[in-house]
Structure 1
Amino acid sequence: MSKISLDKSTLSNSKLTTTCLIVGIEIIIGLLSGLTFIALGAGGGSWILGGIAAGALVFYFYRRYNNQAKPNRNSRKFGQIIVGLTVGFSLKQSNLITIYSQLHIFLFLALFLLFCGGIIGYIYSRIEKTDLLTAMLATVPGNIGIMASIAADYGRNISLVSLVQLIRFTAIIIVIPLIANVSNAHDINAIIHSVTENLFVINFNYLFLLFLLLSVTLLTVKIGSYLKIPVAGFLCSIIVGVAFDSLLDSLPFLSHIDFNLPPLFNLIGQILLGITIGEYWGMNPKLGKLTVAYASVPVAMTFLAGFISAGIATLISPWDWLTCLLVTSPGGSPEMILISLALHHNVEIVTAGHLVRLMTINLCLPALVSFICYLEGRSTKNQDGAADQLKTISPKSAMP
């Protein structure tokens, strides 16, 4: 008995060591790739793209060694925690108060994108000749892992859902920063200098505050996950970041402390967000042309819906075009918020817009899935009823 327990413990430790080694290699390659993308002018999305490239490369070769390996979703969770803290420290309560009056705009835009996702899903189900629920899960702009897990729970086509979501996610991460960089010029040398300057901060007081911040964040995220808060790692981390920053400003004996997260901390968080996406690509590097072509149709339509939503936002809100584009882009919320952070462009508005969209989609998703299952069940029942009626008609009675 003790020997079996020892074998399980050894196997678990070996698996943990392998996972840490793989993630470490991916982070190093991601840092190098991110610097390469910055040199090429990718701008705000460089570190996420670096993570995608690193995840795809490392996981592709690792799958040759272990073909049962699956993408490490914990990497994205830790990335969301780090990015959430970064976003929280960048938000100011004085600016957030002014956004409350615009919540109806955020809600309308979120529901509009959800409605467009439903229409696109219906069209895609006809093109791909698949069931409606699979098509909806593939086209609604949500989290890849969540959509794939729902597809697995209902016995639907997980590969198709993951493929469409992955193409949409990757395309938006590539295209939106390019559009943003056209609208906002950037100095590549200045970006590289800001990245390499003060990567490590060695100070006892600073390290103590950083340890305290991380401990409180992990505890809050654990409580949020227990309470079933959507994307708890990201949302709870933002709340902790805002609260911690406000607490430091409010305490008179700590007013002289200028606490910010280390630059390397932020970069690793962005890379971790991209690594999981890259690992999904590394699982299936060979894709059929027809499959990709069919999957590109809903992705292109989702892009169009995002641009239409941005156009509507410019008409009903006081925001400029770039802000509206970042708010309505149907990509990952952490990624779009990070792009606004990199551009120093209305971070509060972009954050509020994506958090409202994130909450709206996650709250509406159970009802949407139940409604689609009801429609599919009703359609199947009607078809079976029609087939039974045909069986009851004899050839003689069918003659005039």
Structure 2
Amino acid sequence: MTEVIAAKFNITTKNIVTYSLVLVETILAFAAGFGFIALGIGGGAWILGGIAAGALAFYIYRAKFSDRIEPNRNLRKLGQMIVGLTVGFSIQPHNLEAITAQLPVFVFLALFLLASGGLIAYIYSRLQKTDLLTATLATVPGNIGIMASLAADYGKSTALVSLVQLIRFTTLISTIPLIANVSHPYDIHTAIATLTQDLFKLNLTYLLLLVLVLNLTALVVSAAGKLKIPVAAFLGSIVVGVALNFSFTALPLTAQMDFSFSPLFKVIGQILLGITIGEYWGLNPKFSRATIAYALVPVTLTFFAGLLSAGIAMLLTPWDWLTCLLVTAPGGSPEMIWIALVLHHDVEIVTAGHLVRLIAINFSLPALVSLACYLEERLSNGNGVNNPAPVLESIPAANPPSKQR
């Protein structure tokens, strides 16, 4: 009996700590987000604010209180659901017909980035003196958690995979909004006025409808997860958003219904996306300078591959430079789509491009893993086995369930 009471007390205490930390991170993210807006970083200000807040709060908590706490991956899923719903409601069905004609271009761009990732992986494996599978998982522009989990399944360095993926992701999230704001004029005062307008103006009907939409989305996302659909929280919520948006405009009973998400709801979704990435940085990994320097090489090459892909897209399509850049940015799909949404810039095209790439990457992962293992075996037989450089395992992406918040 005493053990049961103690276990319940520990769970309650853990939940209080989790929610308190999330609250502190959210408050800090709002402050940082307004700071980034004041600096003119409009497109990704709230995501960057979340990254800064998550890193700071998580690092201080681990340093002062407990180093056993792990990044809250459920926060990112919730953020993906919110952003996915917002994106889904912004997509107009009549615009989807024109996008289907560009499907071959989307597939080509996705395959181009995959091929570029393979070449970069080979270069990085020789530079870091690690095996080809680890290098492939580190450099392919995919989900951080998925890549690191695969590394753990195959007994590879999850820390190295997480490091490269995290640097790539953070670099993109930091630089693309800056480039987007240069490519597309951004009025700071208008951004703040838009955010504060009707920020807390809610009514009972709206709240009931919002609860209904969120519960329906949660059911669809749960079903998608059980079906092993990649990035289920994001893809599932987009499908729900598109379907509900179509039904609200097409069905007679709901044609007069005006439903849209409040600015506060949208901002919270962006902040949650950023907080999780910031928490991984807050783990304070102690890598050698050489390891970090080597990790910057594939990140830089991947970034240039994205720019080259954007140039190819401009030659093949009538899209402008900003659209091509957002479509081909190697990673951060929810964030790139959100930037397009904030700037009201070809949301359907950017969404379609990233969804095609997400599907291509996730469905080609088994083939990529098999190919990397095969090539590594051939290289090892021909030249001797590579001895991977020692890397501190300090970013546990594939954590045991007991340690998850």
Common fold by TM > 0.5: yes
Q: Partner residue of 2:52? A: 53
Look up the match of 2:152.
152
Give 4+ residue runs of structure 1 displaced > 3 Å after superposition: 285-288, 377-385
Distance 1:383 1:202 in 2: 67
2:148 match: secondary structure? helix
Q: Runs of 5+ in structure 1 lacking a partner?
A: 386-400
State the match for 2:170 in structure 1.
170
Distance of 2:127 and 2:225 partners within structure 1: 37
Query: 2-side partners of 1:285 and 1:48: how far apart?
Result: 22
Counterpart of 1:33 in structure 2 is: 32
Q: Which moved more, 1:10-19 or 1:58-67?
A: 10-19
Q: Distance in 2 between matches of 1:200 and 1:322?
A: 33
- The equivalent residue for 2:256 is 256
Deviation by residue 1:353-377 (Cα, 9 ceiling, x = unmatched): 0000001000001111122123333
Total equivalences in the alignment = 384
- Matching of residue 5 in structure 1 with residue 8 in structure 2: no
Could you report, residue by residue, the CA deviation over 1:58-106 in whole angstroms, capped at 9, with x for unpaired residues?
0001111111221111111110000000100110000012111111110
Q: Which amino acid in the other structure matches residue 15 of structure 1?
A: K
Question: What's the counterpart of residue 185 of structure 1?
Answer: 185
How far, CA to CA, are the matches of 2:193 and 2:143 in structure 1? 33
Cα offset, 1:128, TM superposition? 0.7
The answer as to whether partners of 2:247 and 2:254 remain within 8 angstroms in 1 is no
What is the one-letter code of the residue matched to 1:334?
A: P
Higher helix share: 1
Deviation (angstroms), 1:288: 3.5
Deviation at 1:17, TM superposition (A): 1.7
**CA-CA distance at 1:253 after TM superposition:** 3.4
Cα distance change of structure 1 residues 176 and 188 upon mapping to structure 2, 3 Å threshold: same
Letter in 1 for 2:229: I
Which string of whole-angstrom CA distances, capped at 9 and with x for unpartnered residues, describes residues 300-338 of structure 1? 100110011001111111211111111000021000001
The structure number with the bigger radius of gyration is 1
1:202 is displaced (CA, Å) by 2.4
248-257 or 301-310: which moved more?
248-257
Alignment TM-score, normalising by the size of structure 1: 0.93
- Residue of structure 2 in register with 1:67 after alignment: 67
Residue 349 (str. 1) matches residue 321 (str. 2)? no
**SS of alignment partner, residue 44 of structure 2:** helix
Query: Given that residues 132 and 376 in structure 2 are in contact (C-alpha distance below 8 angstroms), is that contact kept between their aligned partners in structure 1?
Result: yes
User: What is the aligned partner in structure 1 of residue 329 from structure 2?
Assistant: 329
Matched, 1:88 2:88: yes
Q: Would the alpha carbon gap of residues 315 and 70 (structure 1) be closer, same or farther in structure 2, given more than 3 Å must change? A: same
Q: TM-score, normalised by structure 2?
A: 0.92
> 2:282 aligns to what SS in structure 1?
helix
Once the two structures are superposed, residues 180-208 of structure 1 have per-residue CA deviations (whole angstroms, 9 ceiling, x without a partner) of 11111111011011111111232121111
Q: Which amino acid aligns with 1:154?
A: Y
Q: Distance in 1 between matches of 2:361 and 2:285?
A: 30
SS at match of 1:142: coil
The answer as to 2:111 corresponding to 1:115 is no
Partners of 1:384 and 1:80 lie apart in 2 by 44
Partner of 1:194: 194
Q: Distance in 2 between matches of 1:139 and 1:214?
A: 34
| 1:391 match | none
For 1:200-215, what aligned pairs fall within 5 Å after superposition?
A: 200-215=200-215
Pick closer, same or farther for the CA change 1:285–1:152 going to 2, 3 Å.
closer
* Aligned equivalent of 2:395: none
Shifted more, 171-180 versus 8-17: the winner is: 8-17
Q: Which residue is equivalent to 1:393?
A: none
Return the letter of the residue paired with 2:204.
F
Give the distance between the partners of 2:223 and 2:376, measured in 1 at CA.
36
Distance 2:351 2:182 in 1: 22
| One-letter amino acid matched to 2:112 | F
Structure 1 Cα separation of the partners of residues 285 and 363 of structure 2: 33
Task: Give the 3-state SS of the residue equivalent to 2:43 in structure 1.
Answer: helix
Give the share of equivalent positions with the same residue, in percent: 61
CA deviations on 1:267-300 (whole Å, 9 max, x unpaired) are 0110111111111111126554322211111111
Q: Find the counterpart in structure 2 of residue 394 from structure 1.
A: none
Unaligned ranges ≥5, structure 2: 386-405
Opposite residue 358 of structure 1, the aligned amino acid is: L
| 1:228-307 equivalences in 2 (<5 Å) | 228-284=228-284, 287-307=287-307
1:119-160 Cα offsets, whole Å, 9 max, x none, are 000000111111111111111101111111111111111111
User: Counterpart of 2:248 in structure 1: which amino acid?
Assistant: L
